[in-house]
C-alpha cells in the first residue's frame, strides 16, 4: 500500500530531531530558512544546540567547521542554490580538511516549481561532486532521507545531501536498509537500464511501467549516492543491457549522467542517453508541467528510452 506523500526535506527535519534526541553531540545550523528546510523541528526541541546564522551562508559553513573541529556533528542547511554562496568555504575549510560537516541543500532542481530559475539549483551536484573528500547524496523519498541523516551521523567526513521541496510517494518502508555508496535495484529488466536519482526515480519507475506495456523491460536503479558512485553495479548492468539511460533533475553536464559516463568510458563504453536539463535553466511553473516541458516526466523518459532501445 502506498504511504502518504512527503517531501524529502520533511524526512530531513524528522530524522534530525530524532538524531538530536539520540546524540547530544549533534548540532544544527541554518541560514534563515529553518521553516523551509525543516531544521526548525530540531530548533524547537534543542534551542541550545541550534544556530540561526541569518542570510550568511559563509559564516554558517565556517561555524559548522569550527563545531566539527570541536567534536560536534554539525548539520548545516539552506536552499541548495544558496549553499553555493559558501562554495569557497566548503572547499578550503571543510573539504580540504576533511571536516565532519553535513551540508543539506533543499529546494533543488526544477521540481522547486513556482520559485523559478533563480531558486532552482541545477548545478549543485556537479559543484559538490568536484570537491575531493565530499560525499554527494540525494534521497528519492522521505524515508530514504531519514536513513541518510542517520547514516551520515556515523560517517566521518564532509557530505552534501540534496533535497526537494514537494512531496512524493514513499518507495521505501521503515525497514529499508540504506548504505552509502550502494545503488538500489528497484525494478529488473533486460532491454536497458535507467539509473535515476531523486524525484526522477519516481518518474523512471512510471516510465518502466509504460515501457513494459510495449514489451520493453528495463532495470530501474535508485542512485542515492552520486559520489562515491556504485561503479560495480553501473558496469554490471551496462554489460547486461548494453543500453544505459540516466535520469536526473539537474543539468546533464556534471551530474549523475556525467558520473555514469566517466565510469563507463574507462571500463565499458556503450550506448548512453542522458535525460535531464539540457544545459539550460528552468522557469516558474507547476512542477509536473515543468517536468513535461523539459522532458523529465515519465512519458518523456519512456519515449526517449524506447527510441534508444529501438536504435540499438
Listed in order, the ranges of the chain carrying CATH 3.40.50.970 are 8-162
Q: Name the band, by pLDDT with cuts 50, 70 and 90, for residue 311.
A: confident
Question: What gap in Å lies between CA 138 and CA 132, rounded to an integer?
Answer: 18
pLDDT at 3: 55
pLDDT at 193: 98
Against a cut of 0.75, is the pTM above it?
yes
**Average pLDDT for residues 139-156, to the nearest whole number?**
98
The pLDDT of residue 63 is above 50:
yes
**Average pLDDT for residues 177-183, to the nearest whole number?**
98
**Average pLDDT for residues 61-73, to the nearest whole number?**
98
All three cell numbers of 270: 556503450
CB neighbours (10 Å) of residue 286?
Answer: 11
Catalytic entry in 40, 57, 123, 304? 57
The pLDDT of residue 312 is above 90:
no
Output phi, psi for 88, to 5 deg.
Answer: -65, -35
pLDDT at 2: 46
CATH code assigned to 184-311? 3.40.50.920
Residue in the block written with cell 530531531: 17
Residue range 259-270, pLDDT digits in tens: 999 999 999 999
- Is 57 a known active-site residue? yes
Distances (CA, A) of 14 to 18, 179, 196: 6, 19, 25
**Average pLDDT for residues 1-15, to the nearest whole number?**
86
Listed in order, the ranges of the chain carrying CATH 3.40.50.920 are 184-311
The pLDDT of residue 1 is above 50:
no
Distances (CA, A) of 158 to 68, 75, 98, 224, 281: 10, 10, 6, 16, 28
- The rounded mean pLDDT for the chain is 97
pLDDT at 6: 96
C-beta of residue 259 within 8 angstroms of C-beta of residue 209: no
The pLDDT of residue 61 is above 70:
yes
Q: Name the band, by pLDDT with cuts 50, 70 and 90, for residue 4.
A: confident
Residue range 181-237, pLDDT digits in tens: 999 999 999 999 999 999 999 999 999 999 999 999 999 999 999 999 999 999 999
**Average pLDDT for residues 26-50, to the nearest whole number?**
97
Q: Are strands 192-196 and 184-187 parallel, antiparallel or unpaired?
A: unpaired
pLDDT at 45: 97
Provide the CATH topology of domain 8-162. Rossmann fold (3.40.50)
Residue range 278-302, pLDDT digits in tens: 999 999 999 999 999 999 999 999 9
For residues 124-152, one letter each, b for 16 or more C-beta atoms within 10 angstroms of the residue's C-beta and e for the rest, the string is bbbbbbebeebbbbbbbbbbbbbbbbbbb
Amino acid at each position: 500500500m502506498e504511504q502518504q506523500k512527503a517531501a524529502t526535506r520533511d524526512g530531513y527535519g524528522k530524522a534530525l530531531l530524532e538524531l538530536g534526541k539520540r546524540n547530544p553531540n549533534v548540532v544544527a545550523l541554518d541560514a534563515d530558512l529553518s521553516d523551509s528546510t525543516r531544521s526548525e523541528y530540531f530548533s524547537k526541541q534543542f534551542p541550545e544546540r541550534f544556530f540561526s546564522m541569518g542570510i550568511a551562508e559563509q559564516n554558517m559553513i565556517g561555524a559548522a567547521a569550527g563545531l566539527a573541529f570541536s567534536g560536534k556533528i554539525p548539520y548545516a542547511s539552506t536552499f541548495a542554490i544558496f549553499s553555493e554562496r559558501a562554495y569557497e568555504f566548503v572547499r578550503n575549510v571543510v573539504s580540504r580538511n576533511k571536516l565532519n560537516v553535513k551540508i543539506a541543500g533543499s529546494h533543488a532542481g526544477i521540481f522547486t516549481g513556482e520559485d523559478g530559475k533563480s531558486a532552482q539549483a541545477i548545478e549543485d551536484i556537479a559543484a559538490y561532486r568536484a570537491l575531493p573528500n565530499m560525499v554527494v547524496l540525494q534521497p528519492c523519498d522521505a524515508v530514504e532521507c531519514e536513513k541518510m541523516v542517520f547514516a551520515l551521523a556515523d560517517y566521518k567526513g564532509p557530505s552534501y545531501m540534496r533535497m526537494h521541496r514537494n512531496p512524493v510517494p514513499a518507495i521505501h518502508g521503515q525497514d529499508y536498509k540504506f548504505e552509502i555508496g550502494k545503488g538500489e535495484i528497484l525494478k529488473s529488466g533486460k532491454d536497458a537500464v535507467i539509473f535515476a536519482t531523486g524525484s526522477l526515480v519516481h518518474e523512471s519507475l512510471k516510465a518502466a511501467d509504460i515501457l513494459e506495456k510495449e514489451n520493453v523491460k528495463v532495470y530501474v536503479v535508485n542512485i542515492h549516492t552520486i559520489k562515491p558512485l556504485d561503479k560495480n553495479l553501473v558496469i554490471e548492468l551496462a554489460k547486461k543491457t548494453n543500453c544505459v539511460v540516466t535520469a536526473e533533475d539537474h543539468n546533464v553536464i556534471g551530474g549523475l549522467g556525467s558520473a555514469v559516463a566517466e565510469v563507463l568510458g574507462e571500463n565499458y563504453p556503450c550506448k548512453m542517453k542522458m535525460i535531464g536539463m539540457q544545459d539550460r535553466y528552468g522557469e516558474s511553473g507547476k512542477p509536473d508541467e515543468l517536468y513535461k516541458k523539459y522532458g523529465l516526466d515519465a512519458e518523456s523518459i519512456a519515449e526517449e528510452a524506447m527510441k534508444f532501445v529501438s536504435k540499438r
